[in-house]
Amino acid sequence: MKYPVKYPVNNANPCPREDELLDALGAGFIGDELESHIATCASCHELRLVAGALLDERVQAVTEAALPSSGTMLWRMQMRRREEAQAAARRSLLVGQAVTLAAALVLVFTLLGGTLAGEALNVIASIELSTPLLLAVAAWLLAAPIAGWVLIRLDD
């Protein structure tokens, strides 16, 4: 609906009935009282033009939206279900591996605790490492897990 009169808009003082107008536009029905208010209020008039155009565009977009076929939707649901099952299995395996590692470490330290710690300190103290050797060991310790991760990802 076009109005022949140009209304000056003052954004500094919004109308207290703007929320009511937005609700009415969303419902698709504007009563006579609100219609007469819009005719006299510049802020509500502009809001009706802008929000009405946006709501009309939304309705048009919803009616023109292309829905995928039922076969495509079924395939997507099956793929999603499969991926969720794989993710759940990975989480379960990760938890199982963590528990197994913790139990193995507790067992080793329980059985060999004091002896193992003392021997490890003696071995570490007896090793004389040069800087290039240390760098090579550090690089290997960094590269090995990354290479393993890459190989696992390539299998997927």
- pLDDT tens for the 156 residues of the chain, in order: 454 455 555 556 678 888 888 888 888 788 888 888 888 888 888 888 888 888 888 888 888 888 889 999 999 999 999 999 999 999 889 888 989 988 988 887 788 777 777 787 788 778 777 788 888 888 998 999 888 888 888 876
Residue pair 41/48 in contact (Cβ under 8 Å)? The answer is no
Cα–chain-centroid distance for residue 150? 24
pTM of the model: 0.37
Q: Which helix (H) or strand (E) holds 68?
A: none
